[in-house]
Structure 1
Amino acid sequence: MEDQAEKLREIMKNRQSPESPNEIQGVFGKKTKIITVASGKGGVGKTNVSTNLALAYAKIGKKVIVLDADLGLANVNVVMGMIPKYNLYHVIRKQKTMKEVILDTDYGIQIVAGASGFSKIANLTDEERESFITELTELSSADIIIIDTSAGVSSNVLSFVEAADEVLIVTTPEPTAITDAYGIIKIISTEIDDLDLDLKLIINRVASVTEAKKISQRVINIAGQFLNLKVDYLGFVYEDPSVPSSVRKQIPFMVADPNGKAAGCIQHIVGRLENIEYREGGGVGKFIRKLLGKEGSLTT
């Protein structure tokens, strides 16, 4: 798996070596940022975070592809209201190329649908994973690739985690979700020997800034004390009725309610990832300024 993760890093990060500068840089021409989104358990809103992060990136002019790497229970196309004819199943079975399954959306991003309902490919063989990684070169024209992994930790998830520039762990205030978030962080620290691994924590569905801060500090402190691993607190997403409503409508909440609390939080998270500040008149900008004025920093 380490060799495959290294190959994935070389393909997707466009590393240029003195020995073969044209082989890598000449093919890709630029660096693509890889963000892997993972969670310890299902049902914490990981796919919603992934897709709406993509839309927030698109708002600042980035070319974004969301890769649904859940090879058993794919949902990205569902929350986007799309029924793809082809998906990763056809790529893995070598029936289609990655380029042939990339889908344009109505929201300024592209997606690659996962292979829902095919449990036999949830864990790929070494040969299948090697072929799949090679196909990922077709995504390298994007500025940002957001990889929505399956819940929990499989060899597939670990490969995407190890190869990423940023790894976002999504959890919620539920005790089981917090426990499982620490669990996936522990497995990552055990299985991946990378001191530069950039792990960041997002607390989803919180009622207040205080609740988010309390949960994040608990996870971060335990990871530091028992795993000697640094985990950064990236931010939170408020509990917002527009989110389940948008899921039922199969429209991303960044589109269904762009001035809502959840949308504001997602934009703030992208701002932190890119070290920029959103400046909008009214709407989200006004919402964020109110939060900063009333509750202090969104992430402190």
Structure 2
Amino acid sequence: MTEKGILGPDQAEGLRRMMGSFANHDTKIIAITSGKGGVGKSSISLNLGIHLARMKESPQKVIVMDADLGLANINVLMGIIPKYNLMHVIKGQKKISEIIYKTEYNLDIIAGANGFSQLANLKDEEKQNLIQAIREISYADYIIIDTSAGISSNVISFLLAAHEIIVVATPEPTSITDAYGVIKAIVAETDNANIKLLMNRVSSPAEANKVSQRIIQICGQFLNIKVENLGFVFEDPVVAAAVKKQIPFAFLAPNAPVNLCLNHIAKRLLNIQVADEDKGWFKFLNAFFKRMPA
């Protein structure tokens, strides 16, 4: 741990103990984060949740929790206006089980507190109460936490309390740098985080592999941590269309390339065997995208 950890030694150790208590629970908590905004993190969180919930081989009970405290948008992506959100839990007005919104996609949503800038940096007691509240959700197989972008104290708290951390990045140089930055911030607080890298908006599997290996190698060399390559998601116009329609793209166009990728990733998370990426549909898509005009 670095001399100047974001949370401080006592708070970080408390979160590690809490993470240990989660480890004995049936529910698996995955925190999805990014070093910068605009990389598609929230869209990935929502639609990956849908793929896990609708997995043909092994459907899961999934809760997607929008932990972007101040600029939440999971509910916007779905076109819903929730009556209650995390603000009511933080202030002690509602239990977390009372603010869950059940959707038609076989997953539940916990909305973030959009527009409440005073919640962007919680007090330690409020932060601990919120993370503790997650433990009350015992019926889910997976809780996907969509964090804010960046390395604020709130973000790191959620990351340290999760079983797995998925860092979303794109091939853009700024995104690569910021992805390394958020991984470095995690390592500064704990040396046993389970970190996975997901490349979004790639033009081909070759591009995804090149960029992801670059990040993974740098993390291994300078941070002495092993980051797992979880996979990639193609750049796909279906995503923008889904955002405009406020319908998850996993539901709007289930056979689109972007959903093939997310289904692939969901299977990896569930340890379901997947086809080699240089065979079948992935071989076709790789060739197809290489021939598309820039």
Say whether the fold is shared (TM-score over 0.5). Answer: yes
* 1:253-264 → structure 2 map (5 Å cutoff): 253-264=249-260
Aligned length: 272
Q: SS of the residue aligned with 2:135?
A: helix
State the shift of 1:140 in Å: 2.1
Distance 1:177 1:157, change over 3 A: same
Report the Cα distance in structure 1 between the residues aligned to 2:79 and 2:234, rounded to whole angstroms: 23
Which structure has more relative contact order (CA 8 Å, sep 6+)? It is 2
Q: Does residue 15 of structure 2 align to residue 5 of structure 1?
A: yes
Report the Cα distance in structure 2 between the residues aligned to 1:140 and 1:11, rounded to whole angstroms: 13
Structure 1 unmatched runs, 5+ = 16-29, 280-287
Q: SS of the residue aligned with 1:65?
A: strand
State the shift of 1:11 in Å: 5.1
Asked if structure 1 preserves the Cα contact closer than 8 Å seen for 2:70 and 2:114, the reply is yes
Report the Cα distance in structure 2 between the residues aligned to 1:97 and 1:110, rounded to whole angstroms: 15
Q: SS of the residue aligned with 1:6?
A: helix
Q: Which residue is 1:289 aligned to?
A: 280
Report the Cα distance in structure 2 between the residues aligned to 1:95 and 1:249, rounded to whole angstroms: 33
Q: Which residue is 2:290 aligned to?
A: none
Q: Which residue is 1:25 aligned to?
A: none
Q: SS of the residue aligned with 1:210?
A: helix
Calculate the aligned-residue CA RMSD, in Å: 1.9
Q: Which residue is 1:113 aligned to?
A: 111
TM-score by length of 1: 0.86
Q: Which residue is 2:271 aligned to?
A: 275
Report the Cα distance in structure 2 between the residues aligned to 1:265 and 1:165, rounded to whole angstroms: 22
Q: Does residue 239 of structure 2 align to residue 248 of structure 1?
A: no
Q: Which residue is 2:211 aligned to?
A: 215
* 1:182-197 → structure 2 map (5 Å cutoff): 182-190=180-188, 192-195=189-192, 197=193
* 1:1-300 → structure 2 map (5 Å cutoff): 1-6=11-16, 8-10=18-20, 12-13=22-23, 15=24, 31-60=26-55, 61-190=59-188, 192-195=189-192, 197-277=193-273, 289-292=280-283, 295=286
Structure 2 unmatched runs, 5+ = 1-10, 288-294
Which amino acid in the other structure matches residue 281 of structure 2? K
Asked if structure 2 preserves the Cα contact closer than 8 Å seen for 1:12 and 1:140, the reply is no
State the shift of 1:90 in Å: 0.9
Q: Which residue is 2:292 aligned to?
A: none
Which amino acid in the other structure matches residue 123 of structure 1? N
Report the Cα distance in structure 2 between the residues aligned to 1:57 and 1:86, rounded to whole angstroms: 25
Distance 1:86 1:95, change over 3 A: same
Which amino acid in the other structure matches residue 265 of structure 1? C
